[in-house]
Structure 1
Amino acid sequence: MIENKDQLIAVAAEANGLLQQIADYTKLHPGEAWHGRVRFPRGFIGTAQDKRRKLSFISDETLKRNVSYALMTHDVLRWLAYHTDLSGQAREMIIKEAVCLLGTICESITIFPEEYGLGRGSGQKKRIARLVELEVIDKKLQRRLNWLWDKRNQEHIYDLNFREFDHWVNGDWYRAVKAWRGLRDGLTVWRARKV
């Protein structure tokens, strides 16, 4: 058990060396890569069941489960970004995937066919505006969610008219998480009032 920062630094250095040895060996012997798999740290990825508990506003069980799985993927991306020294474009693409994933989740949870203006026929920004009208979210969160939707649409590489070099930053991820949490919390309160 690591008890202090000095021990943490020493153990991390040892793990770094061992991981590099595994990578070097399996590069030369790709057929043996299966034997060089390392155990992903337990307890970092929330369980699907834990994720579903916070999605009480979703009545469709399949959607609720799929959103929980997407949130588990988000945990994996977060671990990669914040527990490794991944940098440069590789890190930016992890940030992009996390932001786009949260945008897709937000899109999925704003569709309520039984509520006028929140069905599939409305676009995401129209559904967000409708949530403001219904006082589910406020204007500040609307701006965040519209920003997130615009960023999510940058997932379509063929539509980009700019190079993604130095485009995605940590702040994008933080902002996306705030948008997701705000929407989730607003929908939770709204749906609880309707029951």
Structure 2
Amino acid sequence: MKDPAYTIDCARILDIVPMLNLERKYFDACWHSEAALICKLIEQEPMMFRVCKVNGKVKGYYWVFPLEHSIWNKIITGEMSEGELVKHIRSFDEPELYLYISSVIVDQTDKLHKNYTKALVYDFGRRFVLGRKSNAPDVRAIGAFTISEGGRRLMERAKFSYQGSFRAHGKEMKSWAIDCRTLAQQSVSEHQQRQVRKIA
């Protein structure tokens, strides 16, 4: 099956409804976002929301929030709720940022969902981890907590370090983090290994 042409870009206001439809499809109601809040955040900093589209239709997305270390640590360890973090979002232009991955969702009913996941992971790496441009964000570390098996597998494959667990909404959340430099080195090493295998 040939891959359709897909694009990854910053979310726009018209993407909010399809993004939230995917969120409602795969996450419990306690994790659902408010459209008005997402609209405000996209207007504040569109780079926090990256969407994968095929023929203009949203097939997946990831959301990240730039924070200072103390707030970031409270979010990934469950000391602070996601609802509170919106008051602490920093600009991508500021120094010493800590990224919190809030959500990664791909339409699992699409036969090419794995391709979209890979494309989003690649986009994340290029934009936030391997950025060599002078205007690339100064990201020091990346963290998340997982509420699904898919999320856990994604963190493990990316070699994030398990930080412990906490309970939220009656469920156990697993916390993950990685230093940005370490993640960049891993990404370069894995790319080199793939190139060697191709040559062999």
Is the pair's TM-score, using the shorter chain for normalization, greater than 0.5? no
Greater RCO, CA 8 A, separation 6+? 1
Structure index of larger Rg: 1
Q: TM-score, normalised by structure 2?
A: 0.28
Q: Higher strand proportion, which one? A: 2
